[in-house]
Structure 1
């Protein structure tokens, strides 16, 4: 409150007051529910006879309080509407992303396939696929796109299509992954990459050919022996990091009663309610 702005020492350097010839003014802040100021209300007069008093400031403060509540509520309402729209979009994106996943595992005599995928949020960067190859083999794909949310989900759609194309058009899995990496190294935004595990099963022999692009090592569990990580020496870089990188493959025999486990970091980074890693 300034009853006489022309003689108020607080405004000695304010050229705008003297230019507009403001004689008296009062100003109160607009404050949201968190106590943060988001604006002001100012009333001034150029009449030297109508000076504002403390009673006028009290009235303006009351008005500003009501205005703050109304504006804050309007902003919260607008925010809620935006969040609801985003929520709807995420739910649709989740349905679309789940549409990329296989409807059911392969039905091969003598083999059983199990799969499970639950994103940490509505959408995520993990995906898997089963790809029947022309020679009777079946490729099992597990991949993890760095990051979460819509950006990672959109990239999984691209990866899913390209890995299928390269595996169907290239006889050797390592060569197919090398070609896939060359494509992604050109297209991915800097800082983005993909880890990928390809396991190609020959049903008639039980041989599994594995190509690992920066992914967690698969675990081979034999029915009568210990579990072992597979393919340490042949594991390569994640996809999209280095163009021209040559990937290698290794082969293992899946014994009768054995289990080959392929997973993403959602397993080894899982936490309990106290935010502690399991194991």
Structure 2
């Protein structure tokens, strides 16, 4: 149509020029041709605009359909993820209940002893584990392990350690022998570089002794009531879970009525305040000594208050385990 408009405009101009040259009366057509050409352009642009608008409307409708489809797909995917997450949380809660049930209750039947424990994992599941082995009325074994890391993997390793120690300690073996056999047993199952520390000892009230062995663990603290002092029991072996055939050494100390043995993991002494300063071993010993004359349960409660006070709004930064054994009667 633009071509027709150009032809009409050209013929109109030629007509006007010829009429002027021949000096014959005429009706000017150039303006009419120009008008027709402009109208032709306007019609063409309007037609193109209509085509573009219709195409845009089709593309918009198609895009809306795709958006609705993708939205439904995303909604379904989110729903499935939420359901999986709910199941995962349910499984973790169940696993936590199972793990907590595997820990010994606050025993009432340990003749001549008092025992208080405080356990708080960083996540739903933790890598710390403690246990009690009552061999006789006068002889009791105490175990504390700390698996590197926390969460599901550490919890699974700690459960394996419970089975291994229960199997090896049942015959009342010396602690060093138990640690060596547990280490070798765990090396048969640990293939991804997990390692752990532990301390295992047997308290014999008849002999007034505590024989222990440790594998890279923090020192057990011995509160001597007669001296009103706290002493650190030295480590007797390396961290466990690296290689077979590791040998550990037994150590023996004498105990008396009123003495306490304090077992703990690094989550206790690594609690931090607002300045990122750790609670530390020295402050732990000072606090234990400060409340040493209080009944054992109140002493532990006071220690926990000190930890909360020091750390402010305390959030657990590592698995936290503390248990204390008090010799009431020999």
Question: TM above 0.5, one fold?
Answer: yes
Give me the CA root mean square deviation: 2.6
**Structure 1 pair 194/203, CA: closer, same or farther in 2 (3 Å)?**
same
1:225 equivalent in alignment to 2:242: no
Report the structure number with the largest CA radius of gyration: 2
Provide the TM-score with structure 1 as the length reference: 0.73
Q: Secondary structure at the match of 1:231?
A: coil
**Structure 1 pair 264/87, CA: closer, same or farther in 2 (3 Å)?**
same
Q: Secondary structure at the match of 1:270?
A: coil
Cα shift at 1:105: 2.2
Cα shift at 1:278: 3.5
How far apart in 2 are the matches of 1:55 and 1:274? Answer: 62
CA offsets, 1:127-186, max 9 Å, x none?
111102258410001111223222222222221121122122353111121111111122
How far apart in 1 are the matches of 2:69 and 2:152? Answer: 37
How far apart in 2 are the matches of 1:275 and 1:89? Answer: 34
| Stretches of structure 1 lacking an aligned partner (at least 5 in a row) | 1-51
Q: Which moved more, 1:81-90 or 1:168-177?
A: 168-177
How far apart in 2 are the matches of 1:105 and 1:179? Answer: 27
Which residue of the partner structure matches residue 79 of structure 2?
77
Which residue of the partner structure matches residue 269 of structure 1?
270
> Does the CA contact (< 8 Å) of 2:210 and 2:252 recur in 1?
yes
Which residue of the partner structure matches residue 246 of structure 2?
245
Matched residue count: 229
> Does the CA contact (< 8 Å) of 1:185 and 1:239 recur in 2?
no
| Stretches of structure 2 lacking an aligned partner (at least 5 in a row) | 1-53, 281-330
Q: Which moved more, 1:135-144 or 1:72-81?
A: 135-144
Higher share in helix = 2
Cα shift at 1:106: 5.5
Provide the TM-score with structure 2 as the length reference: 0.63
How do residues 133-148 of structure 1 correspond to structure 2 at under 5 angstroms?
Answer: 133=135, 136-148=138-150
